[in-house]
Each structure stands twice: as structure tokens, then as C-alpha cells.
Structure 1
Amino acid sequence: MQAEQGPSKLVSKVNSGAFMELCRFIPFLLSVCIYFVLAPQSSCPLWMKALLKCLPILFLCTYILTHGINMCTHSKAQKLIAGLLFSAAGDIFRTTSTQLYPFQGDAMFGIAHVFYIGMFGAKPLNLLAGFFLVIIGTIYLLFLNRCLWDQKPFQWTAYIYISLIGTMAWRASAGTLFNQHWSWMKLFGTIGGMLFIVSDFTYAVSMYCFPVYNSGLIVATYYIAQMLITLSTVNTENKVIRK
């Protein structure tokens, strides 16, 4: 009888934990839905669009805090929240900027990537994953160079930013890409880092080359990337899977 109750209690505990995680994510998910409904409206003022854009990122910060993490000792959570807050600032600058090249927004996201790089750490090094992402970054740069050939200051800014986001994606994927020892949470971080590249590549093409009419792709991949990066950092107690 006790043997039968053991698995049922375990399943109940797992379901309860999954339900609690979903409840913690409800503010984030609702704010994302509100953004997609209200922000595209022409009657929505610019300041409201900026608020709606950064609100889901701020709710990811509250998601971290609801886990009862000791912020004084959990250095990864500190860097994650710092990265999210700088990302929110970047959203505000990019949304409200009337200039063609919003340097302030790019600078905020660049700082966010520095925090994410520190959060993911330098171990394992995984040079093979780094080499793979260097190839992707080179293709990215060659494509953008065609649009920025006569605009040297903006070209160098693009070089710096691509180097930062590429390094972030490398550190996010070092635990899974070409690695036999991985966990689901590390995989979430890898996917999040890659989606961040997709989002920013699409944004850069729209800003520097030609308009990308499906702007929802930029925002959707961006929010999913931030959500997965947050999940991979907060929930770190998963068993390693060996192939």
C-alpha cells in the first residue's frame, strides 16, 4: 500500500510544482499578450508602447524574486536581474528613439549581454561551440556589411554588438552544443541564446537594410529568448543527461 502511495505522491508533487511555475509566469504571459494586442494600434502613444514593451521583462524579474532566492548569495540571479533591467532600458530607448540609429538602446542591450556572459560563466569552455558561432557571426557580418559599407561608425558599432551577443550565445550553449553531458535547463539557455541572435539579426536587417514587415517575429523570439534564459538560470537543479 505504501509502495502504491509513493509514486502517486511523487506525481502529485510534480504536478503541483508545474502548476506553481505556471502561476508565476501568468503575469509575464498576460503582459506579452497585451503588448501584441495594444502596441500595434496606431492610437497607442509612444510612451505606452515603450511601457508595454518592457513590462514582460520586468515581470520576469518578479518571477525570479518569487522563488525566494537569496539575492545576496546567488550571483547568477543578480546578473540575470541586471541583464533583464538593462534589456528593459534598451526596449524603452529603442521604442522611443526618433533617430535612425538608436545607439542608446544598443548600448543597453550590449551591457545586458555582458551580464549574461558573466552569468553563464566560462565553464565548460567548449571551443568547438565557439568556433561554430564564429562562423554564424561572420556570415551575419558579411550580410550587414552590404548595408553599412559607407557608414563606418555604424559598421564598427555593429561589430562590437555582434561580438557581445555572439559571446553570450557561446556561453549559453557551451553546456549543450557538441557536449555529451547536458540538462534540460541548459538546453533552455542554449535555445534562448540562439533565439536572441535571431531576434537581433531580424531587428538589424529591419533597421539597416530593408523593412521587415513581420515585426512580430522580432518581439516573439525576443520574449521567448528572455523567458528561456531566465528559466535556465532559476531552475538549475536538474539532473545531467548523458547520451
Structure 2
Amino acid sequence: MALKWERVWFQVLKELCRLVPFLLSVCIYFVLASQSSCPLWMKALLKCLPILFLCTYILTHGINMYTHSKAPKLLAGLLFSAAGDIFRTISTQQYHLHGDSMFGLAHVFYIWMFGAKPLNLLAGFFLVVVGAVYMLFLNRCLWDQKPFQWAAYIYISLIGTMAWRASAGTLFNQHWSWVKLFATIGGMLFIVSDFTYAVSVFCFPVYNSGMSAATYYTAQMLITLSAVNTKNTVVKIKR
């Protein structure tokens, strides 16, 4: 039993060492990007740098990209997220639709990555209710901004579907694992992050401006950990 726990802690420390560049880049972002003297291009670089380090984490994990079914989709989702970070940082108005489009594509790849099994319609219904509340709240702020309003509806549908597929293995489900729990928490935190961001941009400034970034980076990290450490992801190649 003691040997088993030693192996578990060794694996945890090993994963933390691989995540050091990501964690350091997140700290650097919070320290430097908040400075008023920081140039806009530097803020954009600092914002997407942690996501790029998550990509390197996947590539240095010893995963065979040809046989691992989730890794290529995860990489695509992270890269589109990094592009979305750049567009959102450059200008919250002119390039907002561009940023939402990039994140929308990222969620499409995440939905594809999580798959359709188990279906878990109860979790889906719960997230439909959450999405409806989300839409009703933002609709008051976007009533006179039709392009952003319809884009918000599409985006909320995508992120809600992503969170449903991420949480299908644990939400209202007795059979769960830590890896599936990471995916569930990651999907939910992604909703919290984007809701905080949308309220700050279209409605009113949120008191804790760092909440959106903190929940966003945590969500991306947990989604990455859940996908990389999933056991049943090897695709049998037909000869």
C-alpha cells in the first residue's frame, strides 16, 4: 500500500514538473500584463504564452500523435484558444467577433475530443438551464448590438455543449474518476471565465478583473490533464 502511494506521489510530482513553464508563464502574465506601461503586443503575447506551454506539455509527454485519439484535437483546441486570446487582447470591440470565432472553433474540437459517450441527458438538461440563464442575463446588455447578440447565442451554445460533454462522465453519474472530474471542473470553469469576460465587456466592470483569467487558465490546464491522462484513448490502426 505504501509503495502504491509512493508511485502516486511520484507521478504527481512528475506532472507538476512538466507544468512548471505553464505555471510560471501564468504568474508572469498576472504580474506584467496588469501594468499600464505594458505594450499591447506584449499583453497579447503574455496572454497566449501559457496556452502555448500547455501545447509543449502535450508534446513532451511522450504521446504518439498518430495513435492517441484525443491529443491532436486537444492541440487544435489550444492553438485556436491562443489565437482567440490574441484577438481579444488586441481590441475588445473591433476584434471581439474574431476572438469569439477562434474560441468557438476551439470548443468544436473540445466537443469532438470528449466524444458522445456517455450521453448523460440529465447533465445536458442541467447545462441547458445554465445556458438559458446565461443568455437571458447577457441579452439585456446586447439588445441593441445585434451582431454581438447572435454571436453570443452561437458561442453560448458551443461552450454549453463543450461543458456537457466534459461533465458527462461525472455529473449525476456514480461512476467517475479523477481524470473525468478534472474534465468536469475544467468545463465548468470555462463557462465561469467566459461569463465573467462577457459581463466585463458588455455589461459592467467586474470587481475582480483577474477572475476571468484565473478560471480560464485553470480550465485549460484541467482539460489538458484530463485528455492527456485518459487511458481509453488509443485508436487501433487497421493494417
TM-score (norm 1): 0.92
Would you say 1:52 and 2:50 are equivalent positions?
Answer: no
Residue 170 of structure 1 deviates from its aligned partner by 0.3
Closer, same or farther: CA 101–142 of 1 in aligned 2, 3 Å: farther
Would you say 1:218 and 2:212 are equivalent positions?
Answer: yes
Paired position in structure 2 for 1:180: 174
Q: 2:58 aligns with which of 42, 61, 64?
A: 64
How far, CA to CA, are the matches of 2:120 and 2:148 in structure 1? 31
How far, CA to CA, are the matches of 1:115 and 1:130 in structure 2? 18
Paired position in structure 1 for 2:104: 110
- Whichever residue aligns with residue 160 of structure 2, its letter is G
Answer with 132-141 or 10-19: which moved more: 10-19
Residue 100 of structure 1 deviates from its aligned partner by 5.3
Paired residues of 2:92 and 2:201 also in contact (CA < 8 A) = no
Q: 1:89 aligns with which of 83, 86, 97?
A: 83
Residue 8 of structure 1 deviates from its aligned partner by 4.7
How far, CA to CA, are the matches of 2:104 and 2:92 in structure 1? 20
Equivalent residue of 2:197, what SS?
Answer: helix
Paired residues of 1:54 and 1:89 also in contact (CA < 8 A) = yes
Residue 53 of structure 1 deviates from its aligned partner by 0.5
Q: 1:12 aligns with which of 1, 6, 28?
A: 6
Q: 1:22 aligns with which of 11, 16, 19?
A: 16
> Alignment identity in percent?
81
Paired position in structure 2 for 1:3: none
Closer, same or farther: CA 98–204 of 1 in aligned 2, 3 Å: closer
Residue 101 of structure 1 deviates from its aligned partner by 5.9
> How does 1:134-153 map onto structure 2 within 5 Å?
134-153=128-147
Closer, same or farther: CA 148–102 of 1 in aligned 2, 3 Å: same
Would you say 1:122 and 2:113 are equivalent positions?
Answer: no
Residue 199 of structure 1 deviates from its aligned partner by 0.4
How far, CA to CA, are the matches of 1:39 and 1:117 in structure 2? 31
Would you say 1:201 and 2:195 are equivalent positions?
Answer: yes
Residue 165 of structure 1 deviates from its aligned partner by 0.2
Larger radius of gyration: 1
Q: 2:161 aligns with which of 167, 191, 202?
A: 167
Equivalent residue of 1:175, what SS?
Answer: coil
CA deviations on 1:184-233 (whole Å, 9 max, x unpaired) are 11011000000000000011111111122421000000000000000111
- Whichever residue aligns with residue 163 of structure 2, its letter is A
CA deviations on 1:48-87 (whole Å, 9 max, x unpaired) are 1111000100111111112100001212110001000000
Across the aligned residues of Structure 1 and Structure 2, the Cα RMSD in angstroms comes to 1.4
Equivalent residue of 1:148, what SS?
Answer: coil
The runs of 5 or more residues in structure 1 that have no matched partner are 1-6, 239-243
Residue 93 of structure 1 deviates from its aligned partner by 0.6
How far, CA to CA, are the matches of 1:170 and 1:14 in structure 2? 29
Paired position in structure 1 for 2:237: none
- Whichever residue aligns with residue 158 of structure 2, its letter is L
The runs of 5 or more residues in structure 2 that have no matched partner are 233-239
> How does 1:224-235 map onto structure 2 within 5 Å?
224-235=218-229
